[in-house]
Amino acid sequence: MDAVDVVQRFNAAINDHDLTELASLMSDDHTFVDTEGATVSGKQACVEAWRGFFAAFADYRNVFTDLTVGDGVVSVSGYSLCSRPELAGPALWTARVTGELVGEWRVYPDSPAARRELGLPPGGLV
């Protein structure tokens, strides 16, 4: 399985709210970083954070429109769907993948600055 496949499976687990599959794709030292830079570290802590997130936002989903790979990092552009407006709209993600595990999942607002930082082309959904 290549890094893109791992990231697509990880996102499918998010969209399905499948904590078992999500955990199976996390490294033991997995880290989640949100758009504000807040982090959750460790597989178990991240699983519990996702459990609470899924309970609070049952209709949350991510849609990927483009994935690129470089140096073990998959950069993704797309958008999130949710009835809560603050969680819906354009977004960027990165996933640090080693083997078949995601070591870090990071979410960015889709902005020109974030696109430059990630080496993504200008544009996007904003």
Compute φ and ψ for 14, nearest 5 degrees: -60, -50
Nearest to 30 by CA among 20, 40, 21, 17: 40
CB 88 within 8 A of CB 80: yes
Report pLDDT for 125. 54
Put residue 65 in one of left, alpha, beta given phi > 0 → left and psi -120 to 50 → alpha: alpha
For the cut 70, the answer to whether the pLDDT of residue 126 exceeds it is no
Strands 26-33 and 101-109: parallel
**77-122 confidence digits (pLDDT tens):** 999 999 999 999 999 999 999 999 999 999 999 999 999 988 888 8
For the cut 80, the answer to whether the pLDDT of residue 57 exceeds it is yes
CB 80 within 8 A of CB 60: yes
Report pLDDT for 123. 73
Residue 44's SS3 state is helix
For the cut 90, the answer to whether the pLDDT of residue 124 exceeds it is no
Nearest to 101 by CA among 14, 23, 39, 40: 23
What residues pair up with 78 in beta bridges, in sequence order? 64, 91
Degrees (nearest 5) of the Cα angle 33, 108, 60? Answer: 80
Token look-up 């802590």 returns: 45
